[in-house]
Amino acid sequence: MASEIIINSNQREIRVALVENHQLVEIFVEHKAKRGIVGNVYKGVVTKILPGMQVAFVDIGLEKAGFLYVGDIDAGDLLDDGEKPNQVDINEDKDGHEEGETVSPTRSMDHIPIQDLLREGQEIMVQVAKNPLGTKGARITSYITLAGRHIVYMPTVDQVCVSRRIENEDEKERLKAIISEIGRPGEGYIIRTAGQGRQKVDFETDIQFLHKLGDNLKVRVETEPAPSLLYEDLNLIFRSIRDLFNEDVQRLVIDSKSDYEKCIEFCSNYLPELVDKIELYKESVPIFDYFGIEIEINRALGRKIWLKSGGFITIDQTEALVAIDVNTGKFVGHSDPEETILKTNLEAVKEIVYQLRLRNIGGIIIVDFIDMSREESKEIVWSALQQELRFDRSRTNILKISELGLVEMTRKRVRGSLSQTLCDPCPYCEGKGHIKSPATVCYEIIRALQRMVGNHLTPKNITIEVPPAVYDLLFEEETSYIDELEKFYGIEVNIKVNQKLHQEKYNIIT
């Protein structure tokens, strides 16, 4: 399908949009002050080992220590006897760095306790596999992977793998034969989707560059202090050229002249076939407005998404999972209710997968489709969901539709979602999405007064500061009760408005 890469770059941030058939399908944002660190290689120091969780914390010079799971440790390089197993288990479906992730093969020695592999104070070279998310530090791995245009180089793994998106078995064998011939013995490589149909010379350029990079890392890890940054991955613009610029992309349009010149220089050195596809945007209208991207980003931050038929879906994101609900809305169909429900669910499937990509939603996802009574309808919807997910670059796993009409699925999460990147939790509701009603706060105040006046130390004058909505309700509905309290206990209650108070807050001053 025809695609374009649109880049908005300025001194504060870089935004990259992938457009397929004139529709925004993915958006990447990198704030220059808070640049992502996935792919960076560090020399770190083990600060704590938790045998019960088989996790170690490693200081890599960031605000929060990175966490290293035992399965992400290159055990062969750490064993005292120097034994280095050749057998590794790499899922060949992995498309290496399609979403910027590093690859962590699982060795046959994962059963070794982490306390036998690491010790506190030990220095170790690690790579960031996942950016820090929320309260969690970065997830790190000691399997180092370096991505090129056509291959991913793995210095510590002895295996050649092929991207899951290359499906032809003959092509897979051809590519493996090329890499086995020009690669280093005992080291590993993943052939990326961009390598499909490429010849030996295309891979030789990649491998020479990546080998130099790997050799430089080996030297620096011996000489640099810990913690320190050994290698910084490309910025978002160059990663987009490396990872997104496939044969379907017709052009890359960028609005920064200086970054345009850097792109031309970068491609001239490494990807000369792409130079003619890079354009400098010169219009006066902001580039994302010109291509209709800005309005799509704002739409992607909303909770409710309307479908063309009149139905809608809602997306609610929590700490543990994302819940997606499908509703018929205004769509009432014609005669057969099952047909109406099936049509709405099928329309929702396309929109859900589109929104997952656009919002970069990952982790556990629960989709509540409208209940279907026929098994064949459920099968049609499930098959449609599988088909749509084939175009998603992130790995997904979906289960069959349950008796309750729910689909459970997971989607690879490497970076924060679009809402996590662009938004902060509401300071008023503290991210809950709701606040106490004025009536609830009003009754809380009355109960507080009851507790206060029930003892012999009751003050004679009480002032209550309340927010405006609560003030109005107290005078409209509860004036008589407060009057009774004043007469019975011989006190005076003064109620004042405080415009600065949160709707859930009040002050009782004695």
Smallest Cα–Cα separation from 191: which of 179, 182, 181, 205? Answer: 179
Q: Is the pLDDT of residue 31 over 80?
A: yes
340 and 446, same domain (yes or no) = no
125 and 173, same domain (yes or no) = yes
The number of beta carbons lying within 10 Å of the beta carbon of residue 60 is 28
Dihedral pair phi/psi, residue 89, rounded to 5°: -115, 100
139 and 215, same domain (yes or no) = yes
Angle at alpha carbon of residue 139, lines to 134 and 142, rounded to 5°: 170
Here the CATH number for the domain that contains residue 505 is 3.40.1260.20
Q: Strands 492-497 and 461-466: what pairing?
A: parallel
Owning domain of residue 139: 41-233
Q: Which of 295, 314, 344 is the last residue of a domain?
A: 295
Here the CATH number for the domain that contains residue 142 is 2.40.50.140
Q: Which of 248, 273, 295 is the last residue of a domain?
A: 295
Helical residues (DSSP H) of 145-199, grouped into ranges: 169-182
- Residue 499 maps to a domain: yes
Q: Is the pLDDT of residue 91 over 50?
A: no
82 and 215, same domain (yes or no) = yes
The alpha carbon of residue 481 and the mean position of all alpha carbons in its chain are separated, in whole angstroms, by: 53
pLDDT at residue 106, rounded to an integer? 47
225 and 247, same domain (yes or no) = no
- Dist. CA 372–CA 339, nearest whole Å: 9
50 and 153, same domain (yes or no) = yes
Q: Is the pLDDT of residue 19 over 60?
A: yes
Residue 368: CB partners within 8 Å, gap ≥ 6? 323, 324, 325, 326, 405, 406
68 and 108, same domain (yes or no) = yes
pLDDT at residue 455, rounded to an integer? 65
- Residue 217 maps to a domain: yes
Q: pLDDT tens, 323-378?
A: 999 988 776 656 677 888 888 999 999 999 999 999 989 889 999 998 888 889 89
199 and 269, same domain (yes or no) = no
Q: Which amino acid is at 474?
A: L
First and final C-alpha spacing in the chain: 72
Residue 169: CB partners within 8 Å, gap ≥ 6? none
Smallest Cα–Cα separation from 132: which of 66, 42, 58, 68? Answer: 66
310 and 416, same domain (yes or no) = yes
- Residue 427 maps to a domain: no
pLDDT at residue 483, rounded to an integer? 84
Q: pLDDT tens, 233-255?
A: 888 999 899 888 877 899 999 99
Q: How many helices and strands in the chain, by DSSP H and E? A: 13, 26
Q: Which of 251, 277, 295 is the last residue of a domain?
A: 295
463 and 418, same domain (yes or no) = no
Q: Is the pLDDT of residue 420 over 50?
A: yes
- Residue 243 maps to a domain: yes
Residue 239: CB partners within 8 Å, gap ≥ 6? 100, 233
pLDDT at residue 102, rounded to an integer? 45
- Dist. CA 78–CA 59, nearest whole Å: 18
* Residue bearing tokens 């080992």: 49
pLDDT at residue 348, rounded to an integer? 93
Number of domains in the chain: 4
- Residue 432 maps to a domain: no
Dihedral pair phi/psi, residue 366, rounded to 5°: -115, 125
**Whole-Å CA distances, 54 to 75, 81, 134, 135, 464:** 13, 22, 22, 20, 54
397 and 370, same domain (yes or no) = yes
- Residue 320 maps to a domain: yes
Residue 245: CB partners within 8 Å, gap ≥ 6? 5, 194, 252, 271, 274, 277
Smallest Cα–Cα separation from 397: which of 369, 357, 365? Answer: 365
Q: What's the token pair of residue 120?
A: 């506190």
Q: pLDDT tens, 197-220?
A: 888 888 888 898 899 889 989 899
384 and 290, same domain (yes or no) = no
- Residue 428 maps to a domain: no
Q: Is the pLDDT of residue 153 over 70?
A: yes
Instruction: Say whether pTM exceeds 0.95.
Output: no
- Residue 433 maps to a domain: no
CA 9, 15, 19, 22 torsion: positive or negative? negative
Residues making up the chain, counted from first to last: 510
Diameter over CA atoms, the chain: 97
Q: Strands 160-162 and 41-50: what pairing?
A: unpaired
* Bond before 227 cis per omega within 30 degrees: yes
